[in-house]
Each structure stands twice: as structure tokens, then as C-alpha cells.
Homo-oligomer: A and B are copies of this chain.
Amino acid sequence: MTLIALLDYASVFIFALTGALVASRQQLDLVGFAFVACLTAVGGGTVRDVLLDRNPVFWIAQPSYIGVACAAALLVFLTAHLFESRLKTLIWLDSFALAVAVPAGTGVALSLGQPVLVVVLMGTITGCMGGLLRDVVLDDVPLVLKQGELYVTAAFAGALTAALARPHFPDALVPLMVCAGVTWALRAGSLALGWRLPVYKSRPPRG
């Protein structure tokens, strides 16, 4: 299995866990769990593949990704009651999913020889789009655009690191690992230590 396939599988599994956790907060049935898990798990990579015109889309070429997402949904369906706070579990799992999805997207764009800016955007999109779809469809906590947290920023910084480091390494392993580390460190620092960028300050007008 190639490194990119491994990252894709890991990202699918962990994002599927987050999708299923959101489904559990909405008290859906098992098929609902699987649906939301699949949407979250393959959403980001699907947008990446459609934009880059990679045919077929990764989970159509290799439907076992869907099996992995459904297994994650079943796991959460059976065990979600064990977690003390499902929201906290969700947020931290989501940070790990982000940290593997960003290098997965970055790696694909690098392997296609795209320019740096496109590589960075594909990493960011692959990382953020699954969670964004999950939250838009289920109308739940919108993690991606939550005020005063690093999320898109973490994805962007991770992807940028990988794109800049790649020419200096003979294979993609090290840059993609560093990408995962940078992404997760920024997201986790934001969650645990309150790291953030300055937000736009002016009070919004009533209108």
C-alpha cells in the first residue's frame, strides 16, 4: 500500500468516526450513522478528486474505503455511550482526522506535479471539506469556521510546510509526516492552549 493510500484510509476511518459521533448526537439509526460517516469520510477526498479530474474518484476505484467508513459507523453505534463527553471526543478525533487528511490531499497534488499554490489548496480543501459537509448537512457545531480557533489555518500551514519541504527530500514520506505534525500541533494548540489569530474586531452593525 502506498503512503497516500495509507493516509487516505486513516483519514477515512477517523473522519467516519467523527461523522458517526455527530449522528449519535442527532440520534439517527444505524443506516443514518453509516450515511453521515461516509459523507464526512470521503467528502474532502471526493472534492479533491473531482477538482483535479482524477478518475475514477478514489472510493469508486477502491470501494473498500466505504467498508472502512461503515465499520467506523458501526463501532461508534455500539460504543458511543461509553464516552463521557461526545462533543469533546468529537473535537479531538476531528483534529486527528484533519492531521491525516491534509497530508493525504497534499500528497495527491504533489504526486500530480501541481504548482505550490494548488498543492496547498488541495491539502486545505481535502482537510476541511469533509467536516464542513458534515456540519452543513447536519446543522451542528460548525468546527471549520468556529470563531477564534485555528482550523483552516492549521490545514493551510501544514500543507504549505509540505509543499515547501518536498523539493528538499528524495521521497514524500518526511514532508507528509511533517505536514501531519504541523497541522495537528496548531489545531491541538488552539484547542488546548487557546492559540489563535487576531479576529476581526469591529462590532458588527445591527443591519
The count of chain A contact residues (Cβ–Cβ below 8 Å) is: 64
Q: Which of A5-13, A47-55, A96-104 contacts B (4 or more CB under 8 A)?
A: A47-55
Query: How far, in angstroms, from A84 to B207 measured CA to CA in the complex?
Result: 10
Contact assessment for A199 and B56 in the assembled complex, using a CB-CB cutoff below 8 Å: no
Q: Which of B24, B32, B67, B114 contacts A152 (CB 8 A)?
A: B32
CB closest residue in chain B, given A31: B153
Contact assessment for B207 and A86 in the assembled complex, using a CB-CB cutoff below 8 Å: yes
Query: How far, in angstroms, from A85 to B205 measured CA to CA in the complex?
Result: 7
A168 in contact (CB, < 8 A): no
CB closest residue in chain B, given A116: B63
Residues of B within 8 A of A139 (CB): 142
Contact assessment for B26 and A145 in the assembled complex, using a CB-CB cutoff below 8 Å: yes
* New contact pairs (11) apart from A27-B201, A31-B197, A138-B145, CB-CB < 8 Å: A26-B145, A26-B147, A29-B199, A30-B198, A35-B128, A35-B152, A52-B60, A63-B118, A67-B117, A77-B200, A84-B205
